[in-house]
Amino acid sequence: MPDTPLTGPGHVRLGSNSGQPLTRRDGFLKVTGAATFAADNRPAGLLHAVHAISTIARGRVRSLDVAAARAHPGVVEVITPANRPPLARDQDDKPTMFSWRVETLQDDRVRYAGQPIALVIAETLEAATEGAHLLAPGYAPEPARIGFEDGEAFEAETVGIGSPAAFVRGEVEAGLAGATVRVEFRVETPTQYHNAMEPHAIVAAWDGDRVTIDSPNQAIAMGQAAFAGFLGIPPENVTLRSPFIGGGFGSKAILSGPHVLAALAARMVGRPVKLVFRRDQMVGPVGHRGATRQRLRLGMDRDGHLTALDHEAVVMTSAFDDFLEPAANASQNIYATPALATRHGGVRVDLGTPGPMRAPGEASGSAALECAVDEAAVACGIDPLEFRLRNYAETDPATGRPYSSKALRECYAQGAERFGWAGRPLAPRRMRDGAGRLIGWGMGSALFPAPMFRAEARAVLRADGTALVETSAVDMGQGAWTALAQIAADGLGLPVERIEFRAGHSDHPDGGVAGGSGHTATAGSALFGAGADAVARLAELATGHPDSPLFGAGNAGVEARLGRLVHREDPGRHESYADILARAGIAELAGQAVGARDPAHARDRAMFSHGAVFAEVQVDPDLCQIRVSRLVGAFAAGRIINPHLARSQLNGGMIWGLSFALHEEALHDPRTGRSMNADLAGYHVPVNADVPSVEALLVHEDDPYVNPLGVKGVGEIGITGTVGAIANAVWHATGTRPRRFPIRIRDLL
Ligand code: MOS
């Protein structure tokens, strides 16, 4: 497959589809119930699987009443460590970068409360559920280690997915010692669960040594390879389908033990098996955002310029795997400082293994950083926006590299203007509304990397003037089906209505991962390139044929315009795609391409999306109840393909920031280690009544380096900056600096 012909710097000219605020092309299917989610599949002969889960957090399973479960009418099989099918590769032998240790009932150890300890397969969901109850496990419990104090501290080597745990540039201690003003700030962030609307699910159906798997998955090709590895069959024998996903947020990028076990179970019983997680069963086996304790130290000179920035995070992980929230790394790329250090420590507790969750690292880390920066501005007697401008990084503080583009100044200016930041009193407790409530204004900088991964795509021009485009990249609700189709249409020079866009199937070219906020950039580049490749082949057919009005123009002499090739210098000469294909007697003309970053740009430039978030809160002076009354974010994220969907992503991110600041917290009973809020009633997320006016401004930004499309990403950045902005507004309203999230009434008393 050729690399995309699009090499920078410099943009390709996108067509008229990009930039349009189209609504979701799959919206109709979803609201009418026609969209097929994984759990909707019912292959013939289907059996239902239900997990029995542990009610202790640590110890061993001593007994399971398998006989009682087997005796229940409708129960077909009970899988326990005694009879579980073997894995084809070691559970710790991670096949892809998004692999965690898979737990498939290898042993009788309990490592967290809610851990699957047996799988019951039955003719009906009810029979499987009852069978799981009848197992009545007996345990040999050991004391659970749930909090930072109980856990086992260890030195971290890497954080996130392979980043070094520690980073130093310059002399931090000297920078702090030489500072005129010093600030030390500590804050805690809680454990959070992804809690996507659609629970994790899998339907596995074998046909000989081939298996068809329906399961929501953010990275189809990696998922296919991981399934194949653990099942011991070649990847091409695994068909993985994930056409619709009801929210992923990172947890559906990673294969978990229950998925693999369900596929093994289907092979064992010789019939298709469906496993759908109950809401409470999503606490443990499928990842979460690990809790953090963070400390920042900032030194400033008399003018409020940073002399040093030091960010340390101690983060929780499980007792049996290693994902560490890269929280402190959030301080590496945003404020200019001659001395910068970030480092992480780990603490092992008896919870499931954490993983990437929307804005992994940046969400928790920027929450801490933005509060610390607010405190630093206060200590210097400088307006928080002015303080950030004084410490504006013209080059990336971590690497010294120039930014590929950075319209953060414009974000500050446009956000502040829209919010009405000017005239904000420096001191807290100075503003009240008509009802006597304290009013506070706060802000935070937003930042998220603009990565690209690798994706392949195929585009096929058809004789009837329509086109088919394919990439296995998925839409997890963010609107990828729409924005990517717009880019594909521009690559093909067709109106988007004439594009059939197929995605979410392992038979498609590898679309990479829908994650890291790099999906539109990566899969979009592949799709554009594939379309351009098909059009180039079409142009060769036309310009090389004496009967074409474009004969002799050469490929460079024609351009694609909504289904026609047009002579660049003589626009009266043109020919439709359909006519060109008809004359050549070709039914379908295919193009293909790879989307990936130009390595030279990746080496030479720092690439991030940026933003500025402004928050207003109202605090009841007697009850200390906090309400966010306004959020304004201004974001610069390169070229915006679909402003409607981009705003929707940014609004959603800011609302998640509100959730982080005031609502979300997974609670585990420190005595038992059991979740106390494993449902959407107890695990608070904002509802409409909690969400005020939220406004996302899209700030123009031209980026000739990220990729020829100029596209960065908008999926995760909205959370960053927002948490700090709200906490800082709470300080401004009350004079009390929040030191943990979510901020509670008791923290303000
Ligand atoms: Mo995301 S946490 O990159 O799915």
Task: Name the one residue in this structure whose structure tokens are 């064992």.
Answer: 268
Cα of 425 to ligand 1 centre, how many Å? 38
- The whole-number average pLDDT for the span 692-710 is 96
pLDDT at position 118 over 90: yes
Render pLDDT for 396-420 as a digit per residue (tens, 0 to 9): 999 999 999 999 999 999 999 999 9
Atom of ligand 1 nearest to the CA of 356: 2
Render pLDDT for 662-679 as a digit per residue (tens, 0 to 9): 999 999 999 999 999 999
Cα of 89 to ligand 1 centre, how many Å? 26
pLDDT at position 4 over 60: no
pLDDT at position 7 over 90: no
Sequence-distant (≥ 6) Cβ neighbours of residue 31 within 8 angstroms: none
pLDDT value at residue 3: 39
Quote the mean pLDDT of the chain: 96
Q: Could you state, in order of their start, the residue ranges of all structural domains in the chain?
A: 27-35+454-596, 382-451+602-748
Atom of ligand 1 nearest to the CA of 252: 4
Q: Of all helices (H) and strands (E), which one includes residue 370?
A: helix 362-380
Lowest-confidence pick of 56-65, 91-100, 510-519, 584-593: 91-100
Cα of 522 to ligand 1 centre, how many Å? 14
pLDDT at position 149 over 90: yes
- The whole-number average pLDDT for the span 432-447 is 98
Confidence tier at 10 by pLDDT (50, 70, 90)? low
Atom of ligand 1 nearest to the CA of 515: 3
pLDDT at position 21 over 50: yes
DSSP per position, 245-258: -S--TTTTSSB-HH
pTM: predicted TM-score of the whole model, two decimal places: 0.97
Helix and strand totals (H; E) in the chain = 15, 30
pLDDT value at residue 473: 78
Confidence tier at 90 by pLDDT (50, 70, 90)? confident
Confidence tier at 11 by pLDDT (50, 70, 90)? low
| Cβ atoms of residues 350 and 671 within 8 Å | no
Residues in the chain, total: 749
Atom of ligand 1 nearest to the CA of 355: 2
pLDDT at position 8 over 80: no
CA 11 – CA 343 distance, rounded (Å): 38
Which of 362, 716, 720 is the pocket-test mutation for ligand 1 (most atoms within 8 Å of CB)? Answer: 716
- What is the edge-to-edge ordering of all strands in the sheet holding 693-698? 431-432, 438-449, 608-619, 626-636, 693-698
Render pLDDT for 639-663 as a digit per residue (tens, 0 to 9): 999 999 999 999 999 999 999 999 9
Q: Write out the two tokens for 719.
A: 């959370």
pLDDT value at residue 369: 98
Cα of 157 to ligand 1 centre, how many Å? 22
Confidence tier at 377 by pLDDT (50, 70, 90)? very high
pLDDT value at residue 2: 39
Atom of ligand 1 nearest to the CA of 249: 4
pLDDT value at residue 13: 78
Would you give the DSSP letter of residue 146?
Answer: -
382-451+602-748 CATH choice from 3.90.226.10, 3.40.50.800, 3.30.365.10, 3.40.50.170: 3.30.365.10
Cis peptide preceding 9, ω within 30 of 0: yes
pLDDT value at residue 104: 95
ipTM (interface predicted TM): 0.98
Which of 161, 249, 520, 649 is the pocket-test mutation for ligand 1 (most atoms within 8 Å of CB)? Answer: 249
pLDDT value at residue 449: 98
pLDDT value at residue 692: 87
Cα of 195 to ligand 1 centre, how many Å? 13
| Cβ atoms of residues 635 and 697 within 8 Å | yes
| Cβ atoms of residues 738 and 633 within 8 Å | no
Atom of ligand 1 nearest to the CA of 359: 2
Same fold yes or no, 27-35+454-596 and 382-451+602-748:
yes
27-35+454-596 CATH choice from 1.10.3720.10, 3.30.365.10, 3.40.50.720, 3.40.30.110: 3.30.365.10
From 491, 584, 509, 508, select the one nearest 542 (Cα to Cα). Answer: 584
Render pLDDT for 268-300 as a digit per residue (tens, 0 to 9): 999 999 999 999 999 999 999 999 999 999 999
Active-site residue flag, 716: yes
Which of 358, 478, 719 is the pocket-test mutation for ligand 1 (most atoms within 8 Å of CB)? Answer: 358
Dihedral of the alpha carbons of 457, 461, 466, 472, in degrees to the nearest 10: -20
Q: Of all helices (H) and strands (E), which one includes residue 721?
A: none
Nearest CA to ligand 1 atom 4: 250
Give the binding-site residues of ligand 1, using a 6 Å CB cut-off: 218, 248-250, 253, 356-358, 360, 515-516
Cα of 327 to ligand 1 centre, how many Å? 15
pLDDT value at residue 6: 40
Sequence-distant (≥ 6) Cβ neighbours of residue 720 within 8 angstroms: 330, 359, 362, 363, 366, 444, 446, 447, 448, 611, 653, 657
Cα of 252 to ligand 1 centre, how many Å? 9
pLDDT at position 9 over 90: no
Atom of ligand 1 nearest to the CA of 516: 3
Q: Write out the two tokens for 182.
A: 């010093």
Sequence-distant (≥ 6) Cβ neighbours of residue 21 within 8 angstroms: 642, 643, 644, 645
Of 312, 665, 695, 716, which residue is the catalytic one?
Answer: 716
Cα of 58 to ligand 1 centre, how many Å? 29
CA 172 – CA 338 distance, rounded (Å): 8
pLDDT value at residue 99: 80
Atom of ligand 1 nearest to the CA of 476: 4
Cα of 219 to ligand 1 centre, how many Å? 10
Cα of 541 to ligand 1 centre, how many Å? 43
Q: Write out the two tokens for 425.
A: 């009193």
